Amino acid sequence: MAQVCLHFNCLPEEVIEDELNDYLAGLALSAKSPSRSAFKHSVYGLRYYYRYVGLPTRAVKLPSLKKDARLPDILNKAELKKLFVAPTLLKHRILLMLIYSAGLRSSELINLKIADIDFERSSIHIRRSKYNKDRIVPLSLYMAVGLQKYLALEQPLTWLFNGKLLGSTYSSKAIAWVMREAVKEAGISKSVTVHSLRHSFATHLIEDGLNIITVKDLLGHSKIETTMVYLHIAQCPLIQAHSPLDTLYPQQR
């Protein structure tokens, strides 16, 4: 329990469900993962705590340890195209597309303000995200067009995605609902969540040839080990690989 509080710098009930489960899965994959018995007691302790504070429906998954741990499910590019056209509302389509486009956590999307979108510099300023660190990520040109249409239609005030009440932010539960409905409408059978869009973002960047250090920085990870899991998921064709000797003697190729 204390380890979770120290890692997220907040109480367990303030941690987004997907992020907690990703943290536990990452801990299970790491070389420093605890014994199976200790790990189970930690998860069971979290479940008891959530019941105690009146959140009995919070799902805390018990991942397998180390080599047995499952890799996160991701969506392929064809599935993403279906997903992004599934919602009826433009707001919902833009919301899902932006999470994937910038590799955002749900909490980061919720806290985005209109002023954080810099159309001139084609960038997004993510402020005080996990570990209270700011970072700048690229704004896709395609995403920029969609955002401008959304802003013209919805005319939000301060927050990029307003909640139901005036001046309130969107909620993580609402984002999760949008994702579930879109997955259902798109006919996707994989067990995916909102956080799967972030997993897909990282995996596709690696498959497209981006180096792991840059992917780490774009995701806002504090440790490279957290990013390394995507190397196990990415399907990089061997045909793209070559011997360094070929670049040493390029004229002989």
Q: What sign results for the dihedral spanned by CA atoms 206, 212, 217, 223?
A: positive
Task: Return d(Cα 243, Cα 162) in angstroms, integer.
Answer: 52
User: Annotated catalytic, 133?
Assistant: no
Q: Which residue among 105, 199, 204, 216 is the active-site one? A: 105
Closest CA to 64 of 46, 39, 41, 32: 39
User: Annotated catalytic, 105?
Assistant: yes
Q: Which residue among 198, 199, 204, 216 is the active-site one? A: 198
- What kind and span of H or E run contains 125? strand 123-126
Instruction: Extract the tokens encoding 190.
Output: 């994989």
Task: Return d(Cα 109, Cα 96) in angstroms, integer.
Answer: 10
User: Annotated catalytic, 198?
Assistant: yes
Q: Is 237 helix (H, G, I), strand (E, B) or coil?
A: coil
How many other C-beta atoms lie within 10 A of the C-beta of residue 41?
Answer: 12
Q: Quick one: angle between helices 90-102 and 141-154, nearest 10?
A: 150
Q: Which residue among 92, 93, 195, 204 is the active-site one? A: 195
Q: Is 117 helix (H, G, I), strand (E, B) or coil?
A: strand
Closest CA to 22 of 80, 67, 55, 69: 69
User: Annotated catalytic, 100?
Assistant: no
Asked if residue 149 lies in contact with residue 142, where contact means CB atoms within 8 angstroms, the answer is no
- What kind and span of H or E run contains 47? helix 36-52
Q: Quick one: angle between helices 195-207 and 17-29, nearest 10?
A: 50
User: Annotated catalytic, 221?
Assistant: yes
Amino acid at 188: I
Q: Which residue among 92, 130, 204, 216 is the active-site one? A: 130
User: Annotated catalytic, 58?
Assistant: no
Active site residues: 105, 130, 195, 198, 221, 230
